[in-house]
Structures are given as structure tokens and as C-alpha cells.
């Protein structure tokens, strides 16, 4: 019984850490992996460095972005921070 009383605070601390730190971090990581795997040509994205561009080419590990009419930059896929819009959401130009 005394051993259980000594271990109870440590177990309580572990449970609190799990629900406040570990579980939310795993959820964010899962969402990021899903976002990176769903990238498609034509998606407008923002890199970790703040560069806005449209995806012109994709490989397993790299993404090529068109950042202006004449400039294309190649990044690691993991450098993509967020997707602004997908090609289905982009309005057609007339």
C-alpha cells in the first residue's frame, strides 16, 4: 500500500503530461503529415520561410514552386508550412 502511495504522484504527473503535451503534439504531427501527403500540382502554399507560391512539380521529397512568372524554386516537401488554397478552390480566370 505504501508503494502505491509513493507511485501515485508520479503516475498522476505522467497522465497530466500525456493529455496536455504528448497527445496534442501527436495530433498536430498527424495533421501535418496528412497535409504534406495531400499536396497536388496547382496548390497555393506557404513555406516555413514565408515564401508564397504555386506548386508546379512534386516528387516524394521535393516540391517546385512558381513564385513569379519567371522564377521557380525547389524546396524539400517538409518546408511547406501551410496550404492557402487547392487548385479546386482557385477561381478560374476569364
Please, is 39 exposed, middle or buried when counting C-beta atoms within 10 Å of its C-beta (0-12, 13-18, 19+)? middle
Please give the average per-residue pLDDT across 82-92, as a whole number: 72
**3-state secondary structure (DSSP) of residue 49:** coil
- Does 64 score more than 60 pLDDT? yes
Instruction: Check if the beta carbon of residue 43 is closer than 8 Å to that of residue 85.
Output: yes
Largest CA distance in the chain: 77
- pLDDT tens track for 11-56: 999 999 999 999 999 999 999 999 999 999 999 999 999 999 999 9
- Does 9 score more than 80 pLDDT? yes
Amino acid at each position: 500500500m505504501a508503494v502505491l502511495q509513493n507511485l501515485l504522484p508520479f503516475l498522476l504527473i505522467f497522465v497530466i503530461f500525456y493529455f496536455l503535451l504528448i497527445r496534442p503534439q501527436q495530433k498536430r504531427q498527424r495533421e501535418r503529415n496528412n497535409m504534406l501527403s495531400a499536396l497536388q500540382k496547382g496548390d497555393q502554399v506557404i513555406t516555413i520561410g514565408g515564401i508564397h507560391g504555386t506548386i508546379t512539380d512534386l516528387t516524394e521529397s521535393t516540391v517546385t514552386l512558381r513564385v513569379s512568372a519567371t522564377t521557380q524554386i525547389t524546396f524539400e516537401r517538409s518546408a511547406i508550412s501551410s496550404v492557402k488554397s487547392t487548385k479546386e478552390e482557385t477561381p478560374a480566370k476569364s
